[in-house]
Structure 1
Amino acid sequence: MATPRVREPRPASFWLLGGVFAAFVLFLYGPMLAIFVLSFQGPEGGLTFPMRGWSLYWFRQLWEGIGVVDIGAALRRSLALGAVVMVCTVAFSLLAGLAYRKKLPGGTPLFYVVVASLIMPSIIVSLGIGLLFRLVDTGAKAVLEAHFPALLDAYTSALGMFTSGLGAQLTWTLPFGLLIMFAVFNRFNPAYEEAARDLGASPWQAFRHVVLPLIGPSLVGVGMFGFTLSWDEIARSSQVMGDFNTLPLELQGLTTTVTTPVIYALGTVTTVISFAVMGLTLGLVWLWRRHRG
Protein backbone atom coordinates (compact mmCIF):
# COMPACT_ATOMS: atom_id res chain seq x y z
CA MET A 1 0.00 0.00 0.00
CA ALA A 2 1.41 3.36 -1.07
CA THR A 3 2.38 5.74 1.67
CA PRO A 4 0.44 9.03 1.43
CA ARG A 5 2.63 11.88 0.34
CA VAL A 6 3.21 14.50 3.01
CA ARG A 7 2.86 18.02 1.68
CA GLU A 8 5.89 20.07 2.58
CA PRO A 9 5.27 23.55 4.02
CA ARG A 10 6.05 26.41 1.68
CA PRO A 11 9.22 28.35 2.49
CA ALA A 12 9.04 31.89 3.80
CA SER A 13 10.42 33.18 0.49
CA PHE A 14 7.26 31.94 -1.27
CA TRP A 15 5.00 34.07 0.94
CA LEU A 16 7.35 37.04 0.66
CA LEU A 17 7.39 36.93 -3.13
CA GLY A 18 3.64 36.28 -3.19
CA GLY A 19 3.08 39.38 -1.07
CA VAL A 20 5.28 41.46 -3.39
CA PHE A 21 3.33 40.22 -6.40
CA ALA A 22 -0.02 40.95 -4.72
CA ALA A 23 1.16 44.47 -3.85
CA PHE A 24 2.25 44.99 -7.47
CA VAL A 25 -1.15 43.85 -8.81
CA LEU A 26 -2.92 46.14 -6.33
CA PHE A 27 -0.69 49.05 -7.35
CA LEU A 28 -1.33 48.32 -11.04
CA TYR A 29 -5.10 47.78 -10.99
CA GLY A 30 -6.18 49.48 -7.77
CA PRO A 31 -6.61 52.96 -9.29
CA MET A 32 -8.61 51.51 -12.19
CA LEU A 33 -10.91 49.61 -9.81
CA ALA A 34 -11.38 52.77 -7.74
CA ILE A 35 -12.48 54.66 -10.86
CA PHE A 36 -14.92 51.86 -11.75
CA VAL A 37 -16.49 52.00 -8.30
CA LEU A 38 -16.68 55.81 -8.08
CA SER A 39 -18.33 56.05 -11.50
CA PHE A 40 -21.45 54.32 -10.10
CA GLN A 41 -22.13 56.97 -7.45
CA GLY A 42 -25.40 58.81 -6.98
CA PRO A 43 -26.11 62.43 -8.03
CA GLU A 44 -24.36 63.79 -4.92
CA GLY A 45 -21.17 61.84 -5.59
CA GLY A 46 -17.72 63.38 -5.66
CA LEU A 47 -14.26 62.55 -6.93
CA THR A 48 -13.11 60.74 -3.78
CA PHE A 49 -14.35 58.18 -1.30
CA PRO A 50 -16.59 57.63 0.59
CA MET A 51 -19.29 56.60 -1.88
CA ARG A 52 -22.52 58.62 -1.95
CA GLY A 53 -25.15 56.21 -3.16
CA TRP A 54 -25.28 53.82 -6.11
CA SER A 55 -26.78 54.65 -9.52
CA LEU A 56 -26.12 55.06 -13.25
CA TYR A 57 -26.64 58.82 -12.97
CA TRP A 58 -23.19 59.82 -14.22
CA PHE A 59 -23.43 57.48 -17.21
CA ARG A 60 -26.69 59.21 -18.17
CA GLN A 61 -24.91 62.55 -17.79
CA LEU A 62 -22.15 61.25 -20.04
CA TRP A 63 -24.68 60.19 -22.65
CA GLU A 64 -26.26 63.65 -22.64
CA GLY A 65 -22.86 65.31 -23.16
CA ILE A 66 -20.17 67.05 -21.13
CA GLY A 67 -20.35 70.79 -21.71
CA VAL A 68 -19.09 71.81 -25.14
CA VAL A 69 -17.26 68.52 -25.75
CA ASP A 70 -19.05 66.08 -28.05
CA ILE A 71 -18.03 62.78 -26.48
CA GLY A 72 -20.04 60.75 -28.99
CA ALA A 73 -18.22 62.31 -31.94
CA ALA A 74 -14.84 61.83 -30.25
CA LEU A 75 -15.73 58.19 -29.57
CA ARG A 76 -16.67 57.62 -33.22
CA ARG A 77 -13.46 59.27 -34.38
CA SER A 78 -11.35 57.07 -32.11
CA LEU A 79 -13.16 53.92 -33.26
CA ALA A 80 -12.71 54.85 -36.93
CA LEU A 81 -9.03 55.73 -36.52
CA GLY A 82 -8.41 52.59 -34.45
CA ALA A 83 -10.00 50.43 -37.16
CA VAL A 84 -7.83 51.98 -39.88
CA VAL A 85 -4.69 51.64 -37.74
CA MET A 86 -5.60 48.00 -37.06
CA VAL A 87 -5.98 47.17 -40.76
CA CYS A 88 -2.78 49.01 -41.73
CA THR A 89 -0.81 47.40 -38.90
CA VAL A 90 -1.90 43.90 -39.88
CA ALA A 91 -1.24 44.46 -43.60
CA PHE A 92 2.16 46.14 -43.25
CA SER A 93 3.35 43.76 -40.51
CA LEU A 94 2.40 40.74 -42.61
CA LEU A 95 4.12 42.11 -45.71
CA ALA A 96 7.24 42.99 -43.70
CA GLY A 97 7.28 39.54 -42.08
CA LEU A 98 7.06 37.88 -45.49
CA ALA A 99 9.79 40.15 -46.88
CA TYR A 100 12.17 39.31 -44.02
CA ARG A 101 11.77 35.55 -44.56
CA LYS A 102 14.47 35.89 -47.19
CA LYS A 103 17.58 38.04 -47.23
CA LEU A 104 16.39 41.59 -47.72
CA PRO A 105 18.88 44.18 -49.03
CA GLY A 106 19.15 46.91 -46.43
CA GLY A 107 16.92 44.91 -44.11
CA THR A 108 19.06 45.33 -41.00
CA PRO A 109 19.24 49.15 -41.08
CA LEU A 110 15.54 49.27 -41.93
CA PHE A 111 14.71 47.08 -38.93
CA TYR A 112 16.66 49.32 -36.57
CA VAL A 113 14.98 52.41 -37.99
CA VAL A 114 11.54 50.90 -37.40
CA VAL A 115 12.31 49.69 -33.89
CA ALA A 116 14.00 52.99 -32.98
CA SER A 117 10.59 54.65 -32.87
CA LEU A 118 9.81 52.58 -29.76
CA ILE A 119 12.63 54.14 -27.75
CA MET A 120 12.23 57.71 -28.98
CA PRO A 121 10.16 60.01 -26.73
CA SER A 122 6.60 59.95 -28.03
CA ILE A 123 6.17 63.70 -27.81
CA ILE A 124 9.27 64.20 -29.98
CA VAL A 125 7.80 61.89 -32.63
CA SER A 126 4.55 63.85 -32.52
CA LEU A 127 6.31 67.21 -32.79
CA GLY A 128 8.45 65.98 -35.69
CA ILE A 129 5.50 64.64 -37.68
CA GLY A 130 3.48 67.77 -36.96
CA LEU A 131 6.36 69.96 -38.18
CA LEU A 132 6.75 67.85 -41.33
CA PHE A 133 3.08 68.27 -42.26
CA ARG A 134 3.20 72.01 -41.54
CA LEU A 135 6.09 72.22 -44.02
CA VAL A 136 3.92 70.30 -46.47
CA ASP A 137 1.19 72.90 -45.89
CA THR A 138 3.63 75.72 -46.60
CA GLY A 139 4.81 74.09 -49.83
CA ALA A 140 1.29 73.22 -50.98
CA LYS A 141 0.04 76.76 -50.39
CA ALA A 142 3.03 78.19 -52.28
CA VAL A 143 2.30 75.94 -55.25
CA LEU A 144 -1.41 76.76 -55.21
CA GLU A 145 -0.72 80.48 -54.94
CA ALA A 146 1.66 80.36 -57.90
CA HIS A 147 -0.26 78.06 -60.23
CA PHE A 148 -3.82 77.54 -58.94
CA PRO A 149 -4.86 80.66 -56.99
CA ALA A 150 -8.55 79.78 -57.27
CA LEU A 151 -7.96 76.65 -55.14
CA LEU A 152 -5.99 78.42 -52.41
CA ASP A 153 -9.03 79.39 -50.34
CA ALA A 154 -10.35 75.82 -50.40
CA TYR A 155 -7.10 74.35 -49.05
CA THR A 156 -6.97 74.06 -45.26
CA SER A 157 -4.23 71.76 -43.96
CA ALA A 158 -2.63 68.38 -44.53
CA LEU A 159 -2.81 67.78 -40.78
CA GLY A 160 -5.64 65.41 -39.97
CA MET A 161 -6.67 62.18 -38.30
CA PHE A 162 -6.14 59.98 -41.33
CA THR A 163 -2.97 61.69 -42.56
CA SER A 164 -0.55 62.90 -39.90
CA GLY A 165 -2.56 61.27 -37.09
CA LEU A 166 -2.53 57.89 -38.80
CA GLY A 167 1.19 58.17 -39.54
CA ALA A 168 2.02 59.07 -35.94
CA GLN A 169 0.11 56.13 -34.54
CA LEU A 170 1.64 53.70 -37.03
CA THR A 171 5.08 54.64 -35.70
CA TRP A 172 3.86 53.11 -32.42
CA THR A 173 1.92 50.07 -33.66
CA LEU A 174 4.04 48.83 -36.57
CA PRO A 175 7.17 47.97 -34.53
CA PHE A 176 5.06 45.76 -32.25
CA GLY A 177 3.41 44.10 -35.23
CA LEU A 178 6.75 43.54 -36.92
CA LEU A 179 8.30 41.96 -33.81
CA ILE A 180 5.31 39.63 -33.46
CA MET A 181 5.56 38.54 -37.11
CA PHE A 182 9.29 37.92 -36.70
CA ALA A 183 8.53 35.58 -33.79
CA VAL A 184 5.77 33.85 -35.80
CA PHE A 185 7.86 33.20 -38.90
CA ASN A 186 10.85 32.20 -36.78
CA ARG A 187 8.76 29.22 -35.57
CA PHE A 188 7.08 28.61 -38.92
CA ASN A 189 7.96 25.28 -40.54
CA PRO A 190 8.52 25.89 -44.27
CA ALA A 191 8.01 22.17 -44.97
CA TYR A 192 4.24 22.72 -45.12
CA GLU A 193 4.65 25.38 -47.76
CA GLU A 194 7.14 23.28 -49.72
CA ALA A 195 4.76 20.31 -49.66
CA ALA A 196 2.01 22.47 -51.14
CA ARG A 197 4.34 23.65 -53.88
CA ASP A 198 5.34 20.05 -54.63
CA LEU A 199 1.65 19.21 -55.07
CA GLY A 200 1.33 21.89 -57.73
CA ALA A 201 0.15 24.89 -55.74
CA SER A 202 1.14 28.32 -56.98
CA PRO A 203 2.89 30.73 -54.58
CA TRP A 204 -0.43 32.54 -54.00
CA GLN A 205 -2.29 29.26 -53.39
CA ALA A 206 0.39 28.07 -50.96
CA PHE A 207 0.15 31.36 -49.08
CA ARG A 208 -3.65 31.43 -49.03
CA HIS A 209 -4.32 27.80 -48.14
CA VAL A 210 -1.24 26.93 -46.05
CA VAL A 211 0.62 29.94 -44.65
CA LEU A 212 -2.34 32.22 -43.90
CA PRO A 213 -4.39 29.65 -41.92
CA LEU A 214 -1.34 28.78 -39.81
CA ILE A 215 -0.45 32.37 -38.94
CA GLY A 216 -4.07 33.59 -38.78
CA PRO A 217 -4.37 33.66 -34.96
CA SER A 218 -1.18 35.71 -34.75
CA LEU A 219 -2.56 38.19 -37.27
CA VAL A 220 -5.67 38.56 -35.11
CA GLY A 221 -3.37 39.32 -32.18
CA VAL A 222 -1.49 41.92 -34.24
CA GLY A 223 -4.82 43.53 -35.08
CA MET A 224 -5.74 43.65 -31.40
CA PHE A 225 -2.42 45.33 -30.59
CA GLY A 226 -2.96 47.86 -33.35
CA PHE A 227 -6.44 48.82 -32.21
CA THR A 228 -5.78 48.96 -28.47
CA LEU A 229 -2.54 50.92 -28.86
CA SER A 230 -4.32 53.42 -31.11
CA TRP A 231 -7.34 53.58 -28.78
CA ASP A 232 -5.21 54.66 -25.79
CA GLU A 233 -2.65 56.82 -27.57
CA ILE A 234 -2.18 60.40 -26.34
CA ALA A 235 1.44 61.59 -26.61
CA ARG A 236 2.02 60.75 -30.28
CA SER A 237 -1.39 62.14 -31.21
CA SER A 238 -1.13 65.40 -29.30
CA GLN A 239 0.44 67.52 -32.08
CA VAL A 240 -0.84 65.85 -35.25
CA MET A 241 -4.63 65.49 -35.15
CA GLY A 242 -5.48 68.81 -36.72
CA ASP A 243 -8.93 70.25 -35.99
CA PHE A 244 -10.45 67.16 -34.37
CA ASN A 245 -9.36 65.29 -31.25
CA THR A 246 -9.62 61.62 -30.47
CA LEU A 247 -11.31 60.41 -27.30
CA PRO A 248 -8.08 60.09 -25.22
CA LEU A 249 -7.15 63.68 -26.08
CA GLU A 250 -10.62 64.90 -25.11
CA LEU A 251 -10.38 62.90 -21.90
CA GLN A 252 -7.02 64.45 -21.08
CA GLY A 253 -8.47 67.92 -21.57
CA LEU A 254 -11.51 67.15 -19.42
CA THR A 255 -9.37 66.14 -16.45
CA THR A 256 -8.56 69.82 -15.85
CA THR A 257 -12.13 71.14 -16.20
CA VAL A 258 -14.59 68.43 -15.11
CA THR A 259 -14.96 68.04 -11.33
CA THR A 260 -17.71 65.40 -11.17
CA PRO A 261 -17.69 61.58 -11.42
CA VAL A 262 -18.81 61.86 -15.06
CA ILE A 263 -15.10 61.76 -15.92
CA TYR A 264 -14.91 58.42 -14.12
CA ALA A 265 -17.90 57.17 -16.11
CA LEU A 266 -16.08 58.08 -19.32
CA GLY A 267 -12.97 56.24 -18.12
CA THR A 268 -15.08 53.19 -17.30
CA VAL A 269 -16.67 53.17 -20.77
CA THR A 270 -13.32 53.46 -22.57
CA THR A 271 -11.81 50.68 -20.45
CA VAL A 272 -14.78 48.40 -21.08
CA ILE A 273 -14.34 48.94 -24.83
CA SER A 274 -10.66 47.99 -24.55
CA PHE A 275 -11.51 44.78 -22.67
CA ALA A 276 -14.30 44.04 -25.16
CA VAL A 277 -11.80 44.25 -28.04
CA MET A 278 -9.43 41.88 -26.21
CA GLY A 279 -12.29 39.48 -25.46
CA LEU A 280 -13.41 39.56 -29.09
CA THR A 281 -9.84 38.87 -30.19
CA LEU A 282 -9.52 35.86 -27.90
CA GLY A 283 -12.90 34.61 -29.13
CA LEU A 284 -11.82 34.89 -32.76
CA VAL A 285 -8.58 33.03 -32.05
CA TRP A 286 -10.53 30.27 -30.28
CA LEU A 287 -12.99 29.96 -33.18
CA TRP A 288 -10.13 29.93 -35.71
CA ARG A 289 -8.33 27.12 -33.91
CA ARG A 290 -11.56 25.18 -33.40
CA HIS A 291 -12.36 25.48 -37.11
CA ARG A 292 -8.87 24.25 -38.02
CA GLY A 293 -9.21 21.36 -35.58
Structure 2
Amino acid sequence: MGRTPIGEQRAPGFWPLAIVFALFVLFLYGPMITIFVLSFQGPEGGLTFPLRGMSLHWFRKLAEGLGTVDIGAAFRRSLMLGMVVMLMTVVLSVLAGLAFRKKLAGGNTLFFVTVASLIMPSIIVSLGIGLQFRLLDGGIKSALQALEATGTLENYGTALGLLSSALGAHLTWTLPFGLLIMFAVFNRFDPAYEEAARDLGATPWQSFRHVVLPLIGPSIVGIGMFGFTLSWDEIARTSQAIGDVNTLPLELQGLTSTVTTPAIYALGTVTTVVSFAVMAVALGTSAWLRRRATRRRS
Protein backbone atom coordinates (compact mmCIF):
# COMPACT_ATOMS: atom_id res chain seq x y z
CA MET A 1 0.00 0.00 0.00
CA GLY A 2 1.42 3.38 -0.95
CA ARG A 3 3.91 1.85 -3.43
CA THR A 4 3.94 2.80 -7.08
CA PRO A 5 2.99 -0.24 -9.27
CA ILE A 6 5.72 -1.51 -11.59
CA GLY A 7 5.69 0.28 -14.92
CA GLU A 8 3.55 3.15 -13.64
CA GLN A 9 5.20 6.56 -13.55
CA ARG A 10 4.59 9.10 -10.82
CA ALA A 11 2.56 12.21 -11.58
CA PRO A 12 4.62 15.11 -13.02
CA GLY A 13 4.06 17.20 -9.91
CA PHE A 14 5.19 14.52 -7.43
CA TRP A 15 8.89 15.36 -7.25
CA PRO A 16 8.49 19.16 -6.98
CA LEU A 17 5.99 18.66 -4.16
CA ALA A 18 8.25 16.08 -2.50
CA ILE A 19 11.18 18.51 -2.62
CA VAL A 20 9.06 21.31 -1.14
CA PHE A 21 7.87 19.00 1.63
CA ALA A 22 11.44 17.86 2.39
CA LEU A 23 12.61 21.48 2.58
CA PHE A 24 9.71 22.29 4.90
CA VAL A 25 10.61 19.40 7.24
CA LEU A 26 14.25 20.49 7.18
CA PHE A 27 13.26 24.07 7.98
CA LEU A 28 11.00 22.86 10.81
CA TYR A 29 13.36 20.39 12.50
CA GLY A 30 16.76 21.57 11.28
CA PRO A 31 17.35 24.10 14.11
CA MET A 32 16.36 21.54 16.74
CA ILE A 33 18.68 18.90 15.27
CA THR A 34 21.50 21.47 15.15
CA ILE A 35 21.04 22.24 18.85
CA PHE A 36 21.06 18.53 19.67
CA VAL A 37 24.30 17.95 17.80
CA LEU A 38 26.12 20.98 19.23
CA SER A 39 25.10 20.11 22.80
CA PHE A 40 27.19 16.91 22.66
CA GLN A 41 30.50 18.67 21.94
CA GLY A 42 33.69 18.17 23.89
CA PRO A 43 35.16 20.65 26.42
CA GLU A 44 36.66 22.75 23.61
CA GLY A 45 33.34 23.10 21.81
CA GLY A 46 31.86 26.44 20.81
CA LEU A 47 28.52 27.84 19.78
CA THR A 48 28.96 27.11 16.06
CA PHE A 49 30.27 24.42 13.76
CA PRO A 50 32.66 22.71 13.23
CA LEU A 51 31.95 20.14 15.92
CA ARG A 52 34.83 19.76 18.40
CA GLY A 53 34.73 16.30 19.88
CA MET A 54 31.83 14.29 21.29
CA SER A 55 31.04 14.00 25.00
CA LEU A 56 28.50 14.74 27.74
CA HIS A 57 30.72 17.48 29.14
CA TRP A 58 28.20 20.30 28.76
CA PHE A 59 25.41 18.27 30.33
CA ARG A 60 27.63 17.80 33.39
CA LYS A 61 28.28 21.56 33.41
CA LEU A 62 24.54 22.11 33.21
CA ALA A 63 23.99 19.86 36.24
CA GLU A 64 26.57 21.91 38.17
CA GLY A 65 24.64 25.12 37.43
CA LEU A 66 25.01 28.08 35.11
CA GLY A 67 26.37 30.99 37.11
CA THR A 68 23.87 32.30 39.65
CA VAL A 69 20.90 30.64 37.96
CA ASP A 70 19.40 27.64 39.76
CA ILE A 71 18.42 25.48 36.79
CA GLY A 72 17.13 22.68 39.01
CA ALA A 73 14.71 24.98 40.83
CA ALA A 74 13.48 26.49 37.55
CA PHE A 75 13.03 22.97 36.14
CA ARG A 76 10.95 21.93 39.17
CA ARG A 77 8.83 25.08 38.96
CA SER A 78 8.08 24.52 35.28
CA LEU A 79 7.32 20.85 35.89
CA MET A 80 4.94 21.62 38.76
CA LEU A 81 3.20 24.39 36.83
CA GLY A 82 2.88 22.17 33.75
CA MET A 83 1.33 19.34 35.78
CA VAL A 84 -1.20 21.67 37.46
CA VAL A 85 -2.09 23.29 34.14
CA MET A 86 -2.50 19.85 32.56
CA LEU A 87 -4.82 18.66 35.36
CA MET A 88 -6.96 21.80 35.35
CA THR A 89 -7.16 21.88 31.56
CA VAL A 90 -8.39 18.29 31.46
CA VAL A 91 -10.95 18.73 34.25
CA LEU A 92 -12.36 22.05 33.02
CA SER A 93 -12.44 20.92 29.37
CA VAL A 94 -14.32 17.71 30.18
CA LEU A 95 -16.80 19.52 32.42
CA ALA A 96 -17.36 22.20 29.77
CA GLY A 97 -17.77 19.56 27.07
CA LEU A 98 -20.42 17.80 29.16
CA ALA A 99 -22.19 21.08 29.93
CA PHE A 100 -22.27 22.20 26.29
CA ARG A 101 -24.01 18.98 25.23
CA LYS A 102 -27.17 20.82 26.24
CA LYS A 103 -28.18 24.31 25.24
CA LEU A 104 -26.95 26.88 27.73
CA ALA A 105 -28.16 30.43 28.18
CA GLY A 106 -25.29 32.57 26.95
CA GLY A 107 -23.34 29.50 25.88
CA ASN A 108 -22.29 30.97 22.55
CA THR A 109 -21.02 34.15 24.20
CA LEU A 110 -19.08 32.13 26.76
CA PHE A 111 -17.54 30.00 24.03
CA PHE A 112 -16.41 32.96 21.92
CA VAL A 113 -15.02 34.78 24.94
CA THR A 114 -12.97 31.70 25.86
CA VAL A 115 -11.63 31.15 22.34
CA ALA A 116 -10.90 34.88 21.92
CA SER A 117 -7.78 34.47 24.08
CA LEU A 118 -6.19 32.66 21.13
CA ILE A 119 -6.59 35.79 19.03
CA MET A 120 -5.20 38.26 21.55
CA PRO A 121 -1.41 38.76 21.44
CA SER A 122 0.17 36.64 24.18
CA ILE A 123 2.20 39.48 25.67
CA ILE A 124 -0.94 41.63 25.98
CA VAL A 125 -2.75 38.84 27.83
CA SER A 126 0.22 38.45 30.17
CA LEU A 127 0.46 42.19 30.76
CA GLY A 128 -3.26 42.44 31.49
CA ILE A 129 -3.14 39.60 34.02
CA GLY A 130 -0.09 41.14 35.67
CA LEU A 131 -1.86 44.50 35.98
CA GLN A 132 -4.97 42.84 37.44
CA PHE A 133 -2.93 41.16 40.16
CA ARG A 134 -1.07 44.39 40.93
CA LEU A 135 -4.44 46.09 41.41
CA LEU A 136 -5.38 43.17 43.67
CA ASP A 137 -2.17 43.78 45.63
CA GLY A 138 -3.15 47.40 46.08
CA GLY A 139 -6.60 46.43 47.32
CA ILE A 140 -5.24 43.88 49.78
CA LYS A 141 -2.69 46.35 51.16
CA SER A 142 -5.36 49.04 51.54
CA ALA A 143 -7.59 46.58 53.40
CA LEU A 144 -4.75 45.54 55.71
CA GLN A 145 -3.98 49.19 56.44
CA ALA A 146 -7.64 49.87 57.23
CA LEU A 147 -7.68 46.88 59.58
CA GLU A 148 -4.37 48.05 61.11
CA ALA A 149 -2.86 44.60 60.51
CA THR A 150 0.69 45.97 60.55
CA GLY A 151 2.45 42.63 60.95
CA THR A 152 0.58 41.01 58.09
CA LEU A 153 1.12 44.08 55.90
CA GLU A 154 4.87 44.03 56.48
CA ASN A 155 5.11 40.34 55.57
CA TYR A 156 2.83 40.65 52.54
CA GLY A 157 4.62 40.49 49.20
CA THR A 158 2.46 40.08 46.13
CA ALA A 159 -0.39 37.96 44.81
CA LEU A 160 1.63 37.38 41.65
CA GLY A 161 2.97 33.85 41.72
CA LEU A 162 3.47 30.51 40.07
CA LEU A 163 0.10 29.00 41.01
CA SER A 164 -1.93 32.21 40.87
CA SER A 165 -1.25 34.70 38.09
CA ALA A 166 1.06 32.42 36.06
CA LEU A 167 -1.45 29.58 36.28
CA GLY A 168 -4.24 31.85 35.05
CA ALA A 169 -2.08 33.11 32.19
CA HIS A 170 -1.30 29.57 31.05
CA LEU A 171 -4.93 28.48 31.25
CA THR A 172 -5.89 31.27 28.85
CA TRP A 173 -3.63 29.46 26.37
CA THR A 174 -4.43 25.81 27.06
CA LEU A 175 -8.16 25.86 27.82
CA PRO A 176 -9.34 26.95 24.35
CA PHE A 177 -7.51 23.98 22.80
CA GLY A 178 -9.03 21.62 25.34
CA LEU A 179 -12.52 23.01 24.77
CA LEU A 180 -12.27 22.73 21.00
CA ILE A 181 -11.14 19.11 21.28
CA MET A 182 -13.94 18.15 23.69
CA PHE A 183 -16.59 19.87 21.58
CA ALA A 184 -15.41 17.91 18.54
CA VAL A 185 -15.43 14.66 20.54
CA PHE A 186 -18.93 15.10 21.94
CA ASN A 187 -20.31 16.21 18.57
CA ARG A 188 -19.38 12.74 17.28
CA PHE A 189 -20.35 10.90 20.45
CA ASP A 190 -23.21 8.42 20.05
CA PRO A 191 -25.68 8.87 22.95
CA ALA A 192 -27.01 5.34 22.32
CA TYR A 193 -24.23 3.98 24.57
CA GLU A 194 -25.48 6.06 27.50
CA GLU A 195 -29.09 5.12 26.79
CA ALA A 196 -28.15 1.44 26.83
CA ALA A 197 -26.39 1.91 30.18
CA ARG A 198 -29.45 3.64 31.64
CA ASP A 199 -31.70 0.87 30.34
CA LEU A 200 -29.52 -1.57 32.27
CA GLY A 201 -30.04 0.42 35.47
CA ALA A 202 -26.82 2.49 35.57
CA THR A 203 -26.85 5.76 37.47
CA PRO A 204 -25.62 8.94 35.71
CA TRP A 205 -22.26 8.62 37.49
CA GLN A 206 -21.93 4.93 36.57
CA SER A 207 -22.86 5.74 32.98
CA PHE A 208 -20.16 8.42 32.83
CA ARG A 209 -17.51 6.33 34.58
CA HIS A 210 -18.01 3.04 32.77
CA VAL A 211 -19.28 4.18 29.36
CA VAL A 212 -18.46 7.79 28.52
CA LEU A 213 -15.06 8.08 30.18
CA PRO A 214 -13.50 5.01 28.50
CA LEU A 215 -14.73 6.19 25.09
CA ILE A 216 -13.37 9.72 25.43
CA GLY A 217 -10.24 8.57 27.29
CA PRO A 218 -7.82 8.94 24.32
CA SER A 219 -9.07 12.49 23.73
CA ILE A 220 -8.58 13.34 27.41
CA VAL A 221 -4.99 12.11 27.17
CA GLY A 222 -4.50 14.33 24.13
CA ILE A 223 -5.85 17.34 26.02
CA GLY A 224 -3.48 16.58 28.89
CA MET A 225 -0.55 16.40 26.46
CA PHE A 226 -1.52 19.75 24.93
CA GLY A 227 -1.93 21.30 28.36
CA PHE A 228 1.49 20.22 29.61
CA THR A 229 3.52 20.90 26.48
CA LEU A 230 1.94 24.32 25.86
CA SER A 231 2.62 25.32 29.47
CA TRP A 232 6.12 23.82 29.51
CA ASP A 233 7.32 25.94 26.58
CA GLU A 234 5.38 29.13 27.25
CA ILE A 235 7.31 32.39 27.56
CA ALA A 236 5.19 35.36 26.44
CA ARG A 237 2.17 34.68 28.66
CA THR A 238 4.44 34.00 31.64
CA SER A 239 6.77 36.97 31.34
CA GLN A 240 4.55 39.63 32.96
CA ALA A 241 2.54 37.34 35.24
CA ILE A 242 5.08 35.15 37.02
CA GLY A 243 6.06 37.44 39.89
CA ASP A 244 9.53 37.21 41.44
CA VAL A 245 10.44 33.72 40.16
CA ASN A 246 11.14 32.34 36.70
CA THR A 247 10.13 29.22 34.86
CA LEU A 248 12.67 27.22 32.87
CA PRO A 249 11.83 28.83 29.48
CA LEU A 250 12.28 32.30 30.99
CA GLU A 251 15.62 31.29 32.49
CA LEU A 252 16.64 29.85 29.13
CA GLN A 253 15.69 33.08 27.38
CA GLY A 254 17.71 35.12 29.88
CA LEU A 255 20.73 32.84 29.58
CA THR A 256 20.95 33.30 25.81
CA SER A 257 22.51 36.73 26.35
CA THR A 258 24.96 35.72 29.11
CA VAL A 259 26.01 32.09 28.53
CA THR A 260 28.46 31.68 25.66
CA THR A 261 29.13 27.93 25.87
CA PRO A 262 27.29 24.86 24.53
CA ALA A 263 25.78 24.46 28.03
CA ILE A 264 22.89 26.57 26.74
CA TYR A 265 22.40 23.99 23.98
CA ALA A 266 22.44 21.20 26.57
CA LEU A 267 19.66 22.98 28.45
CA GLY A 268 17.65 23.32 25.25
CA THR A 269 18.14 19.62 24.55
CA VAL A 270 16.92 18.65 28.02
CA THR A 271 13.77 20.77 27.74
CA THR A 272 13.00 19.36 24.29
CA VAL A 273 13.54 15.78 25.45
CA VAL A 274 11.04 16.33 28.28
CA SER A 275 8.45 17.54 25.75
CA PHE A 276 9.04 14.52 23.52
CA ALA A 277 8.85 12.17 26.52
CA VAL A 278 5.46 13.60 27.51
CA MET A 279 4.24 13.23 23.93
CA ALA A 280 5.45 9.61 23.79
CA VAL A 281 3.71 8.74 27.07
CA ALA A 282 0.52 10.45 25.89
CA LEU A 283 0.49 8.67 22.52
CA GLY A 284 1.20 5.30 24.16
CA THR A 285 -1.55 5.81 26.73
CA SER A 286 -3.98 6.94 24.05
CA ALA A 287 -3.28 3.85 21.93
CA TRP A 288 -3.75 1.59 24.96
CA LEU A 289 -7.07 3.25 25.84
CA ARG A 290 -8.29 2.88 22.26
CA ARG A 291 -7.51 -0.84 22.24
CA ARG A 292 -9.19 -1.24 25.61
CA ALA A 293 -12.32 0.60 24.45
CA THR A 294 -12.43 -1.52 21.29
CA ARG A 295 -12.29 -4.73 23.33
CA ARG A 296 -15.08 -3.50 25.60
CA ARG A 297 -17.34 -2.65 22.66
CA SER A 298 -16.71 -6.01 21.05
Q: TM-score, normalized by length of structure 1? A: 0.97
The 2-side partners of 1:6 and 1:143 are apart by 82
Task: Quote how far apart the aligned CAs of 1:244 are.
Answer: 0.9
Cα offset for 1:197? 1.0
Displacement of 1:225: 0.4
Deviation of 1:291 after TM superposition, in Å, equals 3.1
Task: Give the partner amino acid of 2:260.
Answer: T
Q: Does 1:154 align with 2:155?
A: yes
Residue of structure 1 equivalent to 2:120: 120
> Does residue 130 in structure 1 map to residue 130 in structure 2?
yes
- CA displacement 1:25-49 (0-9 Å, x = unmatched): 0001001000000000001100100
> Where does the alignment leave 5 or more consecutive residues of structure 1 unmatched?
none
What is the CA distance between 1:6 and its match in structure 2? 4.6
Q: Distance in 2 between matches of 1:126 and 1:165?
A: 8
In structure 2, the residue matched to 1:65 is 65
Partner of 1:104, secondary structure, is coil
CA distance in 2, matches of 1:289, 1:26: 32
The equivalences for 1:136-285 within 5 A come to 136-147=136-147, 148-285=149-286
Amino acid across the alignment from 1:143: A
Query: Please, what TM-score do these two structures have when normalized by structure 2?
Result: 0.95
In structure 1, give the amino acid aligned to 2:217: G
User: Distance in 2 between the 1:7 and 1:247 partners?
Assistant: 55
| Structure 2, gaps ≥5 residues long | none
Deviation at 1:202, TM superposition (A): 1.2
Residue in structure 2 matched with residue 92 of structure 1 by the alignment:
92
SS of the residue 2:179 aligns to = helix
Identity across the alignment (%): 73
Residue correspondences, number: 289
SS in 1 for 2:154: coil
The residue aligned with 2:27 is 27
Cα RMSD over matched residues? 0.9
